Structure 1
Amino acid sequence: MAVTMAAQRPQRDERCGDPPLDEDEGRQQQDSGGQAKEGRRTGPAGGGVTDRRGRPAAARSATGRRGSRPRSDGALADPGAAAGAVRQNRGVMFGILGTTRVIGADGGEVALGGPRRRALLALLLLDAGRLVTVERLIDGLYGEEPPAGVGNAVQSQVSRLRQVLPVPLEGHPAGYRLAVDPVDVDAHRFQRAAVRGRDALDAGEPAKAADLLREALGLWRGPALADVGDAPFAPAQAVRLEELRLSAVEDRVEAELALGGHRALVAELGELVTAYPLRERLRAQLMRALYGSGRQSEALEAFETARRALADTLGADPGPELAAVHLSVLRGDPELLPRPSARPGDVSRETSMDGAVRPESGMTGTGRHVSRETSAAPYAPAVTESLAPRHELPAPITSFIGREEELDRIDDQLAGGRLVTLIGPGGAGKTRLAVEAARRCPHDATFVELAGLTGGDELPQAVLGALGLREGGLRPGGPAGAGGPGAPGGPAPSAAVPDAVARITASLDGRPLLLVLDNCEHLVDEAARFAQRLLAGAPGVRVLATSREALGIAGEVLSPVPTLPVPPPGSAREQALASPAVRLFRERAAAVRPGFDPAADAATTAAVLRLCTALDGLPLAIELAAARLRALSVSEIADRLGAAPERPGDEGYPYSLGVRPDALFRLLSRGSRTAEPRQRSLRGVVDWSWELLPDDERAVLRRASVFAGTWTLAAAEAVCADPDPDGTADGAIAPEDVLDLVAALVDKSLVTVQQPDGSGGVRYRLLESIRAYGAERLAEAGETDALLRAHAAYFLDLALTADPWLRTAAQLDWLRLLSDDRDNFQAALHRCLDSGDVPTAMRLIAALSTYWLLRGVRYEGAGHARRVLAALGPHAPEGREEEYALCVMAVLSTLSGPEGFTEHVAAATVVVEDMSRLARRFPVLTLLWAPFAGVPEDGVDTLGALEDFLAGDDDPWFRALGHLGLGFQSWMVAADLELAERECTLSLAGFKRQGDRWGMITCLNVLADLADYRGEVRQAADLLGEALVMAEELDSALDMAELLCNRAAYSRQAGDLGTAAASCERAVELSRRAGAPETLAMAHLGLAETARLRGDLDTARALCAQALAECPVGWFSTNSTRSKVMVAMGRIAVAEGDPDTARTRIREAAAIDIVALQFPLAGSETAAAAAALALLEGDPHRAAVLLGAAEALRGGALKGPDAAASAEAARDALGEAAYAAATAAATGLPRDEAAALVTAYVRAR
């Protein structure tokens, strides 16, 4: 049966121009009787016979035997290996013999995305239906040196591939499996048909062999794995498949020779030998075809040509097969002559370049006409050009860093749309990204630079030139840009060609093409009109544009180009060095200073991170900064730019007022001499955008430069509008105008949009280069002072508005809002103090104090408060007394003691005591003052005062606070368990009604202590867990650290030292983040106690010394911590057998807490430590008495491993009765007498 062939042009893929894998043509053919009968389906090139499901007819041989399954390594696996393949992909076909393709059951092609995703699919298809390990995927996709995080990268690519595939991609513990039958993959169908063809040839069935081999070869659409050749696995697999294809071609020629097709094969074999001169079998077949055609002399000449080629290239003689044919030709062997054709018409048919038989029409399976002279050679030069895409793109001269996600996104966007615009600020790398994206495109791509054009009429001419168009149409092989405006031989810019767009569309004639239009922003209207008309008239064209502003036409897909990611604060060193911004700096720096390495030392690494962060990761700015390394060190560059240190210093929060504009533009001004003038300096880049703006947009842009970090539309409306927009000034900007003006700046990539996590509104930001440029323009306009005042006024009002809401259920929303503006608050404080506006700075510190407390970042106001106090002196301004006292507390929060500020502390004390410690305008003052000042000496009277307050105050938040104060003092001072629990429970209920998480956390912490005291450790842990959840919601580092220290103490009592150590280590991190030395001391004390219990006394001693140095002096709340440190050091001395040191340390602890009688619970720990000392000195009776005193101070039985060990030792030495009598003698003592007993003992020597 003859193989039918469609002469029509097959449907092309919109992106790559290849014909689909399966083409159903002639589905209903009319027979001679007029009845419709089902036609046979052909393979993708038209030459392979398939069944309804697209399988080759050869898949079912005459014997019914199915072929063995081909493996990706070239071997043929057991056919049962894929028997379990999931058959959910019925009708879905896959191709890798050409570009990587998937044809769905509906006949449409699946858009696969970028080359990395195509490579992953191709690698899985090579082992279709079988498990491919993760290790093999990594090796195949990334090679021997995969990047960091490659496992996540593979997982991400698998996830993206799953989203587009119409068949299952299964995940297994060891890897992934594409659940398809190999018969649905063209490479496997090819190998099966090729094997059957050779079997038929060996069995003496040349006609059957020829059919099978034509079907096999008809599956090839171009070079195997053509679009994934850069993947490490692809070259070897492509070579393997190509070798199998050539072997199949040779077998098919052998079958045609056996059928007597000598004469028809001569031309094809001539081209094959030219393409593959070292394949002796082809040369032998050419000699046989020539001899069988009556051309003996030419056959002998063909042998001489082969002999010379082998000798010149390999230094070898012809092999046995070629030599034997040569001898047969010389002898005139009749076996070489054609035999009668086995089938009529076999000899007269032509064979095409892929080995498939073609009808006399001369049309290939791709619909192209191929002459007899060029049809035979597979991938001959004329055909290769049509298979391999031609990229007329600028050749890169530097490496391309990062942008993997952006490239994948652009691939997807181009697969689904025809106009994609890369938008982003100047210097972000849009052009380079567009070129790299176009380079990945599987069809032709042409680049057109528009920056040098001055008018819209030049744009079509630039495109004509880039396409190499002449009067006759497209000039084959024309270089990019040749014949363009102003180019030699090209039209002058003013020489308009009539209807140039029509010429372009007509010349393309459906040709698939990606047209890159670079730098459209200054011709945005003209570019939009051109793109719209081009896309309407040339359906095979896609446009990839770069612009700082969208073209704004229907169908446009925007692809934002952000700056390169910079390492987030606190990143690990390895992670920071691997960030794209740092990698770019490293590579460009090494080009001008060979051997430069940002990882050389900590100082260099820190400077590089500062620099990249200060430059926002803007690629052009980073490259310009790197160029300065010829004359400066990286630290000098960062210092000159004013890049802020990464960590906070004495001044608190590590914000930056921005780089210095003069230094920024002066330093970053020496770019490449061959670059466009606007790309040679950072100022030139921003100038280009500024000149395109109307006056009102310029005004908003320069005024927005006063913002630090991000800002809201409300802030812009308040700050950037004219103060009197209804006045007579022309062009005044009203608040309601700001929205449209900001939106216009966003559209032009001068303002970036950010949306914080969990927030419903957007925020805006200026890149540092644009902010610095705007600040210069603001100064030129004489608006700087007025805008800074407006900025400070807005943010003071915001902080004052937020303060009462921070004590309600809405506190999380308001905390998030204030956190988003941390940079602006710090900038306002800094500027107010620089300009001498001390009153505004003082009010802003007070307004932010609640926020700083709840977030656990009290240090943020310390440096500014110190400057306020220095300006005011030790005198509270009239009417601003609470604000003054809060400034004093802000300073004290970061000091180890009040030295140097005693006069300010005295003035603040007067303020707070005059209001009975209840600050009404700023209640946070009450919360901050209590742990600093403690309770008055007449503690009992204080309890009564709190009860009187609760009886008369109606404010629900203050009542909850009063109950908390009463409960806390009842527990810590009076050790009244019942009263403390009742009051804390009432306080917790009150704070819950208000929604104040800080209050609830504090209550739960005290209630956990009470539960632990009763021995209910599980309940204590649950209460702490509830408090920790709320502290995490508040993102309060300070509260989380304190709670973790308490949890560690419970774990030590239970003997779980591992959990105790982990909790304290986390508390250390949080305390440092909070800038809270007293909490840091608690965490280090917890680690010291854990080390002591483990027997590591050296580590314990060092940690105690560190905790003592960190613990502030003069704070009421830190007395307990200092006492506990002394006790721990005393116990270390006891363990070392040093009674003198132990007595000294325990005596110091007693002087802190027992004399003052303010911490009886801490005093009980001192008494228990004194008991351990008595045992060391050989006095078990004294030890038993001291343990009884400890119980008296605590108000109950002692707990923990230390007390248990001391009690056991004393009991063993005295006996049970004597021990009980000794402890009973002190257990019933009043607290003051128990304290005196302990003090007398430790002071005895």
Structure 2
Amino acid sequence: MRFGILGETRAWRDGGEDVPLGGPARRALLALLLVRPGEAVPADRLAEGGTAGHALHSQVSRLRAALGPDAAIERTGGGYRIAVRPDDVDAGRFERLADAGREALRDGDAERASALLREALNLWRGPALADVPHSETEAVRLEERRLAALEDRIEADLRRGRHRDMVPELRDLLGRHPLRERLAVLLMRALRDGGGRAEALVVFEETRRRLADELGADPSADLAALHQDLLRGDPTPAPARPPAPLTALIGREDDVEGVADLLTSARLVTLTGPGGVGKTRLSVEVAGRAGGDACFAGLAPLRDGAALPRALLGALALREAALHAADAAQGPEDRLVTALADRSLLLVLDNCEHVVEAVAALAGRLLAACPGLRVLATSREPLGITGESLWPVRPLDGDAAVRLFTARASAVRRGFTADPRVVRRICAALDDLPLAIELAAARLRTMDVGDLAGRLDDRLGLPSRGSRTADERHRTLRAVVAWSWDLLTGDERRAAERFTVFAGGATPDAARRICGDDSGALESLVDKSLLELADGRYRMLETIRAYGAERGEPLDDARNAHARHFLELAQAADPHLRSADQLGWLRVLGGEHDNLLAALNWAAEARDVPTGLRLAASLPSYLWIRGGSVAAQAVRLLEVMGPVPPGLGEEYATCVLHAGSDAAGRDVWRRHRVAAEAALEAAWADGNTGRYPAVPFLWMMRRADEPDAQSAFALVLARRDGADPWARAAAHFIAGFGPLATGDAGDAGREFEAAAGGFRALGDRWGTALALDALAGLAARRGDRAAAVALTNEALVLTGELGALDDTADLLVNRGDHRIEADREAARADYERAAAVARRAGSPTYLAAALRGLGDIALLDGDVGAAERLYTDALARFDPYWIKSVGGRATALIGLGRVAAARGDHGTARSRYREAAGAAASTGAFFEGARAVEALAQLEAAEGEPERAARLLGAAAALLGVPSGTAPEALAAHPAAYAEGAALSRAEALRAAGLDASVIGAVSAR
């Protein structure tokens, strides 16, 4: 006889039949006896189960009669015992299997551990000792063992490589047990190893805060150690993985093997076929089985081919330089090439047919430039480029179609059986198209198979024998979708039609709000295979979405509701993006990125300018940190705007800022820039705080390299004593560069410290990292390299938490520069790691900076040829239009000058130094300009001209604003010459260095 107390108390005979146990008192009595089978249970403990006094003996007698001789209940001392073995009770078997599973885990056998622990957990049917009142102690113990076994099973599955599969379950468990640190550790590991490093850091931050708020405790050693491990690792972007299949793939085994084999020899494979034939599902299966990295890019939401490069950047989780590089020569395609050039990756491009020309052009470029890249495309037509291999995806064969129908029917009707001939007739009527079969099978929840067959015959007619064209099959699919649609209730149809306004799916809350679902229609649509619910989001297949968008009433009302919802989301998120909550809110907005763009597009199409302007104004902080552009949407909005709506001047200026972040919006920026800046100044005049504290700072960053940028700087600096704490911190940060340029390190340091303190108090990692980097540069200038390295390390932790690859690469280069004099090998490691991060990020500028650093190392090692190659490569990669490239280009030019000097070619060296000084000083980078003039002085000293060298050292000091410490012997020998040079103006210093009049004029204008 077997017994169960993990749920309702049950007893089963060996044949499997239930033993009738009687009422609650008798089930409670048996449960208490079974807690420790074979051991005596005191009568008073049994009485706590609801059977007291003389009634206890009566209940024991009745229980003996029910169980019979197979489970004797014996009187012993002051209580009773039941003569069964621990393994006869589900709780005993559970604990034995759980212990064995944990032991297998300790031995490193994850497969066996997972199997044993699953078997143990499957014994649970409900809460432990569900029939026993007042059983807290033993029930709590068993529930704790259950949770520990669940954690062990998840641990085993993580060791088996099922990282992403475990995330939804772990999120649910941590939500129900928020203070259980092992669950937090497991979730962080699952996210980290599945590519979600930034998400793992969010989990740590949320757990740390809960522990502090509710227990007043710090994270455990394991949790803290994992956090440190996450921070030490490179913030590798996690490409969008293929969506996790909800069901098994049926009938495509040969296709999967064939496509996978073809991809070993062909770098571009296109799956072709009609809609609904299963191209996407096949691509997901192939990508899931392919070795190495894979990235899935769904192209169905794209409006046109122009958006393709940015869509791929998003799928690759690459940050795009958005608001501060309007005239950048390096566009998103260049960034993709840089990111993929040295990477082995399978890129899945799904649903290419509506942007096939753009896909063909971009795929051709990427494949030519990136030898480790393979592309798997799905399209109703070929891409039509050299090197493409086609794999036609045909309807299922007859047997596979029947198996698919039967499997899907069994999922909605348990125990489904039907005449195979009827099922085959249904599948044939559906042209054996998998999507059509799934839609039809889902209807068996409410109709029988004969009725289904008859309705399909009436609707479609029996198909003719032989092959049919793709177009005809697509018409068949549309007919099946229409048939499924017509069978929906009014509420279901309305919800489905309104759901089509979403791009990239929707959370349940958003879906209910926009679809007006008060009747469970969304859940019903999932049951009928018109929606999928996975990873906490509803999604609609593109074939069904396209059909639904054509149906019913115009969807203007739904689109308006969609735009309002995502405007409210963006407005709610914006202040949190400048606080300690920024990681969580970045994840929220990142998940809704496509919906935010769709809302902006609709605002422009509907000429709803106020909504569009407000939404655009709520996104700059998100786009600055995450990377991305809404330039195209901003341009369209400005084109339909007319006069600036009253009270929305600040929003208008922000929209102009967005438009100016892309070369395509250059003309719009020029037309609107003056009016937009005036609107921004008015919004922030007379001590007003404005509604968007980050916008003046970002406006200034956009205008930093323009000749008349002083008004933009003044707009930020006026906030130094304002009411908004973030704007104050940003103003202090900008204010530090003024005294820095004039050589007042004390004032600069005080401003940067104030900025760092302000950003840190808010919890803004981004701003804090900027300020710390500035302080590190200041420390390096005064010769305190150790402090510079320590400050940069702190900044690297913060950019690591944000997953900001560009900034991490930049900081690594800076740390290498701080280390190069004292520890050449540490600097080399920093430059090499920076180069690797920059390549993954697709950042030509930061890759160039890392190569420049490696050139410095090569020169110090005496390898002049390698140094020249590295400097030349770096120069070719620096973006000449971006202010962040100015110092790097100047330093690379100085390096090439040193290479020439090492070869005795002083003429070339002098030319390179002057080019570097002019390039730097004309854009205000006087530190790098002074270094170039110092290099000229060294050249003069090498040529036996110490007095001229001293004068140039003084000129370098004039440029820098502080005395130079280079070549002290020249200063000692010719102090008057040095003093003469130091007394020059910046323009005069450049003239003394031999620069031409055009450069000197640009410096004078500053």
What range describes the TM-score normalised by the shorter chain of this pair?
Answer: 0.5 to 0.7
Matched, 1:1142 2:915: no
CA distance in 2, matches of 1:1039, 1:837: 36
Letter in 1 for 2:500: S
Question: Which structure shows the higher helix fraction?
Answer: 2
Q: Please, which of 788, 794, 809 is the counterpart of residue 580 of structure 2?
A: 809
Deviations 1:20-41 (A, max 9, x none): xxxxxxxxxxxxxxxxxxxxxx
CA distance in 1, matches of 2:598, 2:524: 26
Letter in 1 for 2:932: T
* SS across alignment from 1:1047: helix
* SS across alignment from 2:398: coil
Give the CA deviation at 1:994: 2.9
Q: Please, which of 1111, 1120, 1124 is the counterpart of residue 887 of structure 2?
A: 1120
Matches within 5 A, 1:901-980: 902-905=670-673, 908=676, 911=679, 920-934=690-704, 950-951=720-721, 953-971=722-740, 973-980=741-748
Q: Paired residue for 1:764? A: 537
Do the aligned partners of residues 700 and 621 (structure 1) sit closer, same or farther apart at CA in structure 2, a change above 3 Å counting?
A: farther
* SS across alignment from 1:707: coil
CA distance in 2, matches of 1:1153, 1:623: 51
Moved more, 1136-1145 or 933-942: 933-942
* SS across alignment from 2:500: helix
Matched, 1:716 2:511: yes
CA distance in 1, matches of 2:963, 2:248: 60
Partners of 2:656 and 2:668 within 8 A in 1 = no
Q: Paired residue for 2:59? A: none
CA distance in 2, matches of 1:773, 1:1015: 65
* SS across alignment from 2:537: strand
Give the CA deviation at 1:412: 3.2
* SS across alignment from 1:1053: coil
Q: Please, which of 820, 824, 840 is the counterpart of residue 1052 of structure 1?
A: 820
Deviations 1:84-104 (A, max 9, x none): xxxxxxxxxxxxxxxxxxx99
Partners of 1:610 and 1:638 within 8 A in 2 = no
Give the CA deviation at 1:720: 0.6
Deviations 1:229-268 (A, max 9, x none): xxxxxxxxxxxxxxxxxxxxxxxxxxxxxxxxxxxxxxxx
Partners of 2:97 and 2:119 within 8 A in 1 = no
Matches within 5 A, 1:333-344: none
Q: Paired residue for 1:165? A: 100
Q: Paired residue for 1:861? A: 630
CA distance in 1, matches of 2:705, 2:257: 66
State, as a whole percentage, how many aligned pairs show the same letter: 30
Q: Paired residue for 1:699? A: 494
Q: Please, which of 654, 658, 672 is the counterpart of residue 397 of structure 2?
A: 672
CA distance in 2, matches of 1:1050, 1:881: 44
Give the CA deviation at 1:715: 1.2
Q: Paired residue for 2:56? A: none
Do the aligned partners of residues 617 and 1052 (structure 1) sit closer, same or farther apart at CA in structure 2, a change above 3 Å counting?
A: farther
Matches within 5 A, 1:294-443: 412=119, 416=123
Give the CA deviation at 1:680: 3.8
Do the aligned partners of residues 664 and 1141 (structure 1) sit closer, same or farther apart at CA in structure 2, a change above 3 Å counting?
A: closer
Q: Paired residue for 1:649? A: 309
Do the aligned partners of residues 1102 and 846 (structure 1) sit closer, same or farther apart at CA in structure 2, a change above 3 Å counting?
A: farther
Q: Paired residue for 1:229? A: none
Do the aligned partners of residues 986 and 167 (structure 1) sit closer, same or farther apart at CA in structure 2, a change above 3 Å counting?
A: closer
Letter in 1 for 2:263: P
Matches within 5 A, 1:585-624: 588-589=254-255, 596-604=261-269, 618=281
**C-alpha RMSD of matched pairs (Å):** 5.7
Letter in 1 for 2:123: G
Deviations 1:40-64 (A, max 9, x none): xxxxxxxxxxxxxxxxxxxxxxxxx
Deviations 1:821-849 (A, max 9, x none): 12222333455556776765554333211
Do the aligned partners of residues 638 and 1118 (structure 1) sit closer, same or farther apart at CA in structure 2, a change above 3 Å counting?
A: closer
Do the aligned partners of residues 1221 and 828 (structure 1) sit closer, same or farther apart at CA in structure 2, a change above 3 Å counting?
A: same
CA distance in 1, matches of 2:619, 2:762: 20
Give the CA deviation at 1:978: 0.9
Letter in 1 for 2:537: Y
Matches within 5 A, 1:1071-1220: 1078-1113=845-880, 1116=883, 1118-1154=885-921, 1158-1175=924-941, 1177-1194=943-960, 1207=967, 1216=969, 1220=972
Do the aligned partners of residues 926 and 1183 (structure 1) sit closer, same or farther apart at CA in structure 2, a change above 3 Å counting?
A: same
* SS across alignment from 2:743: coil
Q: Paired residue for 2:993? A: 1241
Matches within 5 A, 1:171-570: 412=119, 416=123
Q: Paired residue for 2:143? A: none
Give the CA deviation at 1:820: 2.0
Q: Paired residue for 1:689? A: 442
Do the aligned partners of residues 646 and 753 (structure 1) sit closer, same or farther apart at CA in structure 2, a change above 3 Å counting?
A: farther
* SS across alignment from 1:806: helix
Equivalent residue pairs, number? 671
Matches within 5 A, 1:5-154: none
* SS across alignment from 1:1001: helix
* SS across alignment from 1:686: helix
Do the aligned partners of residues 893 and 582 (structure 1) sit closer, same or farther apart at CA in structure 2, a change above 3 Å counting?
A: farther
CA distance in 2, matches of 1:614, 1:1041: 44
Partners of 1:709 and 1:823 within 8 A in 2 = yes
* SS across alignment from 2:619: helix
Give the CA deviation at 1:1006: 1.5
When normalised by structure 2's length, the TM-score is 0.55
Partners of 1:963 and 1:987 within 8 A in 2 = yes
Do the aligned partners of residues 960 and 1242 (structure 1) sit closer, same or farther apart at CA in structure 2, a change above 3 Å counting?
A: same
Deviations 1:199-223 (A, max 9, x none): xxxxxxxxxxxxxxxxxxxxxxxxx
Do the aligned partners of residues 929 and 949 (structure 1) sit closer, same or farther apart at CA in structure 2, a change above 3 Å counting?
A: closer
Q: Paired residue for 1:370? A: none
Deviations 1:890-944 (A, max 9, x none): 4554559968964455555555566689982333332223234339989999999
Do the aligned partners of residues 1098 and 709 (structure 1) sit closer, same or farther apart at CA in structure 2, a change above 3 Å counting?
A: farther
Between the two structures, name the one with larger relative contact order (CA 8 Å, sep ≥ 6).
2
CA distance in 2, matches of 1:991, 1:639: 38
Q: Paired residue for 1:821? A: 592
Deviations 1:1073-1127 (A, max 9, x none): 7676654554443344344444454554454445445544455554434433333
Q: Paired residue for 1:99? A: none
Do the aligned partners of residues 880 and 784 (structure 1) sit closer, same or farther apart at CA in structure 2, a change above 3 Å counting?
A: same
Letter in 2 for 1:772: T
Q: Paired residue for 1:781? A: 552
CA distance in 1, matches of 2:664, 2:872: 15
Letter in 2 for 1:1040: T
Partners of 1:1168 and 1:1186 within 8 A in 2 = yes
Partners of 1:1123 and 1:1162 within 8 A in 2 = yes
* SS across alignment from 1:670: coil
Deviations 1:251-302 (A, max 9, x none): xxxxxxxxxxxxxxxxxxxxxxxxxxxxxxxxxxxxxxxxxxxxxxxxxxxx
CA distance in 2, matches of 1:1169, 1:612: 66
Q: Paired residue for 1:796? A: 567
Do the aligned partners of residues 707 and 1223 (structure 1) sit closer, same or farther apart at CA in structure 2, a change above 3 Å counting?
A: farther
Letter in 2 for 1:930: M
Rg: which structure is higher?
1
CA distance in 2, matches of 1:1160, 1:1118: 14
Give the CA deviation at 1:639: 9.2
When normalised by structure 1's length, the TM-score is 0.45
Q: Paired residue for 1:269? A: none
Give the CA deviation at 1:749: 6.9
Partners of 2:97 and 2:116 within 8 A in 1 = no
Partners of 1:112 and 1:412 within 8 A in 2 = no
Letter in 1 for 2:810: E
CA distance in 2, matches of 1:668, 1:832: 39
Q: Paired residue for 1:1024? A: 792
